[in-house]
Chain A
Amino acid sequence: MRSWHEFITMGGYARYVWSAYGVVLIVLVASAWSSCNGLRRILFRVRNYPVGGGEQ
């Protein structure tokens, strides 16, 4: 990469390259959020409903 402009335009492939990296970012962040949220929810359940673990 020689300049900021070349980095952004990706030699004319910006649309494809940045779309691909954007999709990856969205899916990886969503997976992380979903995983952390799942653990947070189950911890809340077992702490507040220790016998049955809350709803099934």
Chain B
Amino acid sequence: MFTWLHKLGSPPLLYRVAGRSTPWFKWTAFLLLALGLVGGLILAPPDYQQGDGFRIIYVHVPSAILSLAVFVLMAVAGAIGLIWRLRMAHAVAVAAAPLGAAFTFITLITGSLWGKPMWGTYWAWGPRLTSELVLLFLYFGYIAVINAFPNQRSGDRAGAIFAIIAAVDIPIIHYSVYWWTSLHQGASLSFTNSSISPAMLWPLLVMIVAFTLYFCWLLSIRLRTEILRRERRASWVRTLTITGAKNAKLA
């Protein structure tokens, strides 16, 4: 059942797969970003309460979704690395962490810029905002932990355990608006019933996919970097550099 997982645990194969997928992620992400921006900034009608201020949603929500999803990915990759001892799973988590931190930073800043005209303040120590800020610190903590050990394996293991434990913040962020009274609104998007008008919804969905592909693009680049850093003494890396293989190109 998990044969594919073990196959992807091979550094040369994972490097090749990441290299081949890089341009696809990149150009699809750019195409969808352009479409989503036109839809969100030009075609979508103003909100009846928030006017054009609501258009921040098209960058805030995709970033927020990714800030949570990337941490879940890191925790899952960490668990796979610990359970199946797949070193490449740790490489995925390490490569994803700075990107997750970047999306969390975007979420906090865009949320703050949206909060000022709507709530009258850039920041409120509400449960959603505070738990999202904690998530940013957890990303910094993870990056600090993996770099705190001179030995790569110890750093990987400590980082994986940290990510698995710290992932408890993810459901807290998601459900905080339901568990506690908060300035932050509840979820407008759901798989069964979205409260957004279709004219406003489709650019948001496009932007969510675009941000996800943008993340996949950068992850594929960072993953190749991480694989080369870990495997630089391996014979396949030497072969790759000697032959100047096409896969070594930047996409």
- In the complex, whether B85 has a CB less than 8 A from a CB of chain A is no
Give the contacting residue for B56; candidates A20, A50, A51; CB below 8 A.
Answer: A20
Given A11-B53, A20-B114, A46-B237; A35-B106 close (CB under 8 Å):
no
**Does A40 sit within 8 A of B, measured CB to CB?**
yes
Interface string of A25-46 (1 = CB under 8 A from B): 0011011101110111011011
For A1-37 the 0/1 string (1 means CB < 8 A from B) is: 1000001001111001101110110011011101110
Inter-chain contacts of B214 with A (CB < 8 A):
28
B51–A13 CB distance below 8 A: yes
Q: How large is the interface on A (under 10, 10 to 19, 20 to 34, 35 or more residues)?
A: 20 to 34
Question: Would A35 and B225 count as touching, CB distance under 8 A?
Answer: yes
B63 & A24 in contact (Cβ 8 Å cutoff):
yes
Cβ-neighbour of A36 out of B51, B60, B237, B250 (below 8 A)? B250
Q: Is the CB of A31 within 8 A of B99?
A: yes
**B109 interface residue, CB < 8 Å from A?**
yes
In the bound complex, what is the Cα–Cα distance between A20 and B51 (angstroms)?
16
- For B113, list chain A residues within 8 Å (CB): 16-17, 19-20, 23
Interface flag for B59 (CB, 8 Å):
yes
Contacts of B99 in A (CB 8 A): 31, 35
14 residue pairs from A and B, CB less than 8 Å apart: A12-B52, A16-B56, A19-B113, A20-B110, A24-B59, A31-B102, A39-B221, A39-B250, A40-B250, A42-B225, A46-B238, A50-B242, A51-B233, A52-B233
B residues sitting closer than 8 Å to A (CB atoms) are 41-43, 46, 51-53, 55-56, 59-60, 63, 98-99, 102, 105-106, 109-110, 113-114, 116-117, 214, 217-218, 221-222, 224-225, 228-229, 232-233, 237-238, 240-242, 248, 250
